């Protein structure tokens, strides 16, 4: 998602300047070559300074997608030996960022951690915007996240299946529309923009060049 939204804002650099994109994620040891690969893959517009490093680990979280050509179904095999971010770690990052105008996007996978992080933001930075992606709904604790956010994105049981990455592209388009055009775009235009961005993702491998493609249409 950050890779694509970085492309979108780079095309608007003259209008918005450096928007400031920050990845806050748990990564393995900062000495691992794979961490450098992750940093380079995100591009120059994404800052990884605020990532949390588990120095005792050497493997990042990873997922493999197996597609059945006969049934057109997909199986996602995930592996993650990294412990999740803790509330005090997130608070430390938010205090370091220290701005009301930030937009925080969460993956709603660990509500016991995510909910107190959201509530901290609401108290400490009431001007911050918050969004969340909820993949497995209903699930215990996830419902409690929704009242705390400005935008919630549901997938899997709430949405039609799509090709790998299309859902991320759609959410990226919506986030971009709210940040870059908070007042001037209608909901219909936001949805049109995000659907088109997801459509471009469906017909290609990877996310490279999506920002350029969507800019040709808008």
Q: Is the pLDDT of residue 161 over 90?
A: no
* Per-residue pLDDT tens over the stretch 95-106: 998 777 789 999
| pLDDT of 6 above 70 | yes
Q: According to the model, what pLDDT value does residue 144 have?
A: 82
Helix (H) or strand (E) holding 106: strand 103-107
Reply yes or no on whether the pLDDT at 63 is more than 70: yes
* Confidence category of residue 160, pLDDT binned at 50, 70, 90: very low
Q: Is the confidence at residue 92, as pLDDT, over 90? A: yes
The answer to whether residue 151 scores a pLDDT higher than 60 is yes
Question: What integer pLDDT is reported at residue 136 of this predicted model?
Answer: 64
Q: Mean pLDDT score of the chain, rounded to an integer?
A: 85
Start-end of H helices in the chain: 2-11, 13-16, 33-42, 87-97, 111-124, 166-180, 187-202, 210-217
Q: Which pLDDT value is given to residue 159? A: 46
**pLDDT over threshold 90, residue 153:** no
- Report pLDDT digits (tens) over 197-217: 988 887 677 888 888 888 776
- State the burial class of residue 132 (Cβ atoms within 10 Å of its Cβ: 0-12, 13-18, 19+): buried
| Measured CA angle at 42 (ends 38, 45), to 5 deg | 140
130-148 pLDDT tens trace: 999 887 655 677 878 888 8
pTM for the model stands at 0.69
Whole-number pLDDT of residue 15: 56
Average pLDDT on 32-45 reads 86
């Amino acid at each position: 998602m950050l890779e694509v939204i970085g492309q979108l804002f780079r095309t608007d650099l003259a209008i918005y300047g450096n928007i400031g994109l920050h990845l806050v994620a748990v990564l393995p040891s900062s000495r691992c070559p794979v961490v450098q690969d992750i940093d380079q893959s995100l591009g120059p517009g994404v800052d990884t300074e605020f990532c949390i490093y588990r120095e005792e680990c050497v493997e990042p979280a990873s997922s493999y997608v197996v597609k059945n050509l006969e049934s057109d179904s997909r199986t996602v095999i995930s592996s993650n030996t990294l412990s999740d971010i803790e509330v005090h770690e997130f608070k430390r990052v938010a205090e370091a960022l220290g701005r009301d105008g930030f937009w925080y996007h969460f993956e709603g996978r660990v509500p016991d951690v995510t909910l107190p992080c959201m509530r901290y933001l609401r108290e400490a930075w009431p001007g911050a915007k918050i969004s969340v992606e909820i993949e497995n709904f209903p699930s215990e604790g996830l419902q409690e996240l929704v009242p705390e956010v400005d935008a919630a994105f549901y997938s899997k049981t709430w949405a039609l299946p799509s090709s790998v990455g299309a859902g991320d592209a759609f959410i990226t388009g919506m986030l971009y529309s709210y940040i870059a055009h908070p007042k001037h775009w209608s909901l219909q235009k936001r949805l049109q923009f995000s659907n088109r961005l997801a459509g471009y993702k469906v017909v290609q491998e990877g996310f490279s060049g999506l920002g350029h493609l969507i800019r040709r249409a808008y």
